[in-house]
Chain A
C-alpha cells in the first residue's frame, strides 16, 4: 500500500523541549516538503528537499531543522527556538525534483505545546 505516513498523529510537548516529527514515503518520490498550517490558515513551507543529503529553507525555517539521509525519510525537528510551535504539520512529496508536480500529502501531525 503506497503513500506517505506521518507519526505521531498527535504530539504534546512541554516548552523548551525539542521534538521530531516523522515522515516516510514509499512512492519513490525525489522531493519532499514540510508545511505548517495554523487553524483556518493556508500552508506555509518550512523546508524542502529535492535529493538525498540536500535540503533548502522555505519561508518559515527559523526554529526548525531537517535531515534527508534516505530518499524515503524526511524528519522534521521542532526546536525550543521555535517560539510558537503549536500547529498542524504536513509532509508532502512529489515525483519530479525541481518541478511543481502534484504533491501528495501525509495525514499530518498535530503538535501542541503545553
Chain B
C-alpha cells in the first residue's frame, strides 16, 4: 500500500535558524496537505498543494509540491519558539483516504 515518509524525524534548531522537513510518497498524489500539532495539542490544517511544482508561502513558511507530485517540503525561515511542534504531511491513498506521514518534531532553542 501507499507509504508516506517524512524526514527528519526530529530536528533541534537554534532560534533564528532555518528548518526544512521533507515528505516522500511511494505513489503519485493528487494533493498534499500539511498539518501542525503543537505539544499536547491536536493537528491543525496548514495548507494544501494541488499542482505539480506548486509553491505557496505563509509568512515565514514555504511549502513546495514536487514536479512528479510524489514529494513535498516545508521550509521555515528564521524559526521562532512559536514554531515548536510536529509537522505532518498527508496525501490521499487509493481509497481516497488520507495517509499521514510519521511527522517531523521541531524543537527550537531560545
Contact = CB atoms under 8 A, between A and B. Distances in A.
Interface of A: 40-43, 45, 48, 90, 92, 98-100, 102-108
B54 to A, nearest CB: 16
Nearest to A58: B97
A105 B97 CA distance: 15
A46 to B, nearest CB: 12
21 contacts: A41-B102, A41-B103, A43-B100, A90-B43, A99-B92, A100-B30, A100-B90, A100-B91, A100-B96, A100-B97, A102-B33, A102-B45, A102-B48, A103-B43, A103-B45, A103-B98, A105-B42, A105-B43, A105-B44, A108-B41, A108-B42
B38 to A, nearest CB: 11
A42 B87 CA distance: 10
Contacts of B42: 90, 105-108
Interface in B41-81: 41-45, 48
Given A41-B102, A104-B45, A105-B43, A99 B88 contact: no
B61 to A, nearest CB: 17
Interface residues of B, number: 22
A43 B92 CA distance: 14
Contact of B96 (A40, A42, A92, A99): A99
A-side interface mostly: loop
Interface string B89-110: 0111100111011110100000
B31 interface: yes
B41 A107 contact: yes
A100 B89 CA distance: 13
Given A40-B105, A90-B42, A107-B41, A45 B97 contact: yes
B98 A100 contact: yes
A48 B33 CA distance: 19
A42 B15 CA distance: 25
Nearest to A31: B97
Contacts of B91: 100
B44 A42 contact: no
B84 to A, nearest CB: 14
